[in-house]
Amino acid sequence: VLSSLEGIVKICNEKKVPLFTSDLESVSKGALAAYGLNFFTIGYSAGKRAARILKGENPGHIPWGHVEKLNLVVNEKAAREQGMILSPELLKRSDKIIAQ
């Protein structure tokens, strides 16, 4: 779907259909909003676990990690183009607001 994102955004804008995704980066490319994982945070956490293993800790003794937090990213321009009004409450809860 990400390879077709530009076309999907165009159709959603024309038809006034809000486009939601779980890929945070897609919001900067025209999706209205995303609620999903921050891959930088996941990579950082994986790196910390890898460091423990490189220091000699048994991988079997390292607890399985879980996602600490999902992120909400919204795009104000996409909201306008897709015929949506973002509430102040939603904007307040957002981790990042793209105001193109």
Predicted confidence (pLDDT) per residue in 11-41, tens digit = 999 999 999 999 999 999 999 999 999 888 8
HEC assignment per residue over 31-67:
CCEEEECCHHHHHHHHHHHHHHHHCCCCHHHCCCCCC
pLDDT surpassing 90 at residue 5: yes
* Domain count within the chain: 1
| Mean pLDDT of all residues in 52-78 | 92
Domain residue limits at 55: 2-98
pLDDT at 69: 86
More confident residue, 66 or 21: 21
DSSP string, 81-97: HTT----HHHHHH-SEE
pLDDT at 1: 63
Strands of the sheet containing 71-75, edge to edge, are 20-21, 33-36, 71-75, 96-98
Amino acid at 2: L
Distance CA 63, CA 55 (A): 16
